[in-house]
């Protein structure tokens, strides 16, 4: 994000605070526009990254016939409808073809898409599509579980609710045994 964007976000934040009846000159709010601009720079960094950039050269030729899974990848995102957070975990599995990916790259791919204005359904699909595009595996499975503050703080105010979305590709979509194995893996306790 460039300096002009940061400056514009500061101005917009000051105007918003004025509009809701706040005094932007009071001590607690003096630096708020600057802090909000820095926060939005972080929240939106996914627009300035691509999955291929974050994976880089961490792709390795390796024959593997078993599911590789990373579970409980925590994430935070912003609902594009209300600009309120939703947060939770993503579980990712893939059945390799001839290539595997460095394990830390999967959470980085999740972050690329989470750090944009989002809906959970699209984010889940984007993660699966990116891994499929980069690795060309035999299959990809992505499941996201999230709490949405837009539903908990306003509207229906259902505080204990959460949403689950999934995207299955290749062997995970076509073979229920492969899909069931993934679901068993992600449902197991950590140790």
Active site residues: 79-82, 120, 148, 150
Centre a 10 Å sphere on the Cβ of residue 146 and count the other Cβ atoms it contains: 23
Phi, psi of 163 (to 5 degrees): -115, 145
Query: In angstroms, rounded to a whole number, what is the distance separating the alpha carbons of residues 183 and 189?
Result: 12
In angstroms, what CA-CA distances link 178 with 67, 84, 141, 181? 8, 36, 10, 5
Query: In angstroms, rounded to a whole number, what is the distance separating the alpha carbons of residues 99 and 97?
Result: 6
- Cα 72 vs. chain centroid, distance in angstroms? 12
8-state DSSP, 81: T
> Of 116, 110, 100, which is closest to residue 130 (Cα–Cα)?
110
């Amino acid at each position: 994000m460039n300096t002009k964007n940061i400056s514009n976000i500061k101005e917009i934040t000051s105007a918003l605070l004025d509009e809701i009846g706040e005094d932007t000159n009071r001590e607690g709010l003096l630096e708020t526009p600057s802090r909000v601009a820095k926060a939005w720079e972080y929240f939106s960094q996914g627009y300035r990254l691509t999955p291929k950039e974050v994976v880089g050269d961490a792709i390795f030729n390796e024959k593997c016939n078993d599911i590789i899974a990373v579970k409980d990848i925590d994430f935070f995102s912003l609902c594009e409808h209300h600009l309120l957070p939703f947060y939770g975990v993503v579980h990712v599995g893939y059945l390799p073809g001839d290539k595997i990916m460095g394990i830390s790259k999967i959470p980085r791919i999740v972050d690329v898409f989470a750090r944009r204005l989002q809906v959970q359904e699209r984010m889940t699909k984007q993660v699966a599509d990116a891994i499929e595009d980069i690795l060309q595996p035999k299959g990809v499975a992505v499941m996201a579980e999230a709490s949405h503050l837009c539903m908990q703080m306003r509207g229906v105010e259902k505080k204990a609710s959460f949403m689950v979305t999934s995207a299955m590709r290749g062997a995970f979509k076509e073979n229920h045994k492969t899909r069931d194995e993934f679901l068993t893996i992600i449902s197991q306790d950590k140790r």
